[in-house]
A = this chain, B = another copy of it.
Amino acid sequence: MGNEEQVLLLSWRASVFGLRVQIALEEKGVAYTYSEEDIFEKSKLLLESNPVYNKVPVLIHGDKVVRESLIILEYIDQVWDLHGPTLLPADPHQRAQTRFWADFISKKIYDSGRRIRHSKGIEKEEAKEEFMRHLKLLEGELGEKLYFNGDSFGFLDIALITFSCWIHTYETFGGFSVEKECPKLMTWVRRCMERESVAKTLPSPLEVYQIACLVKKKLGFE
């Protein structure tokens, strides 16, 4: 398996996608080197290792390059299969459901969150409505379970929990309260935050908010 080769992660402090990879590596107890990218001036290594998208996160394991956060999570789960908990459920249908919602989060929660930060007027209102509607779908999927897949923290929890450090930012830009509308989901957030892999990885809501304001200014959105 070659799982003793060096592991290097190219990421960005506030990347919901990069943070997923960090939590997965922590869960598996994999030692890795973290390399912070300037998203406005990307490194040669990033551009060369992800020429199709030029985006973080990129995991470099020995001489192998793995891109796209959910694909990296599957890779980590397979390569370090005997290190720490299995992230994906074993049952084929539960796996399919996990992959479906993880993909939904990557597309929909990310997109509506971005639009809350960078739009105005009716477009912002639509983004807020969409964001809350999507969170409610996820809250329904969680149901009364402790974690998305039942009693143990796993793949889908990792896919979503990284958005939690952005909630304060979405709320501040959007003028709404996630706690008020999705109290069960916020209870799940607090449960995940008790986990060392999550608590030590996620930046504070205030740090994310400061980064988000800087990014907005640099991108020229006012």
Contact = CB atoms under 8 A, between A and B. Distances in A.
A92 B137 contact: no
B92 A1 contact: yes
Contacts of A61: 93
Given A52-B104, A104-B52, A137-B52, A95 B68 contact: no
Given A68-B100, A100-B68, A103-B68, A75 B52 contact: no
Contacts of A103: 68, 71
Given A71-B103, A103-B71, A96 B52 contact: no
A contact residues, range = 20 to 34
Contacts of A92: 1, 75, 78-79
Interface centre among A61, A71, A72, A103 (most CB of B within 10 A): A71
A144 interface: no
A124 interface: no
A118 interface: no
State the oligomeric state as a number of copies.
2
- A-side interface mostly: helix
A83 B61 CA distance: 33
A67 interface: yes
Nearest to A81: B92
Given A52-B104, A104-B52, A137-B52, A74 B99 contact: yes
Interface in A78-104: 78-79, 92-93, 95-96, 99-100, 103-104
Nearest to A51: B137
B68 A93 contact: no
A66 interface: yes
A218 interface: no
Interface of A: 1, 52, 61, 64, 66-68, 71-72, 74-75, 78-79, 92-93, 95-96, 99-100, 103-104, 137
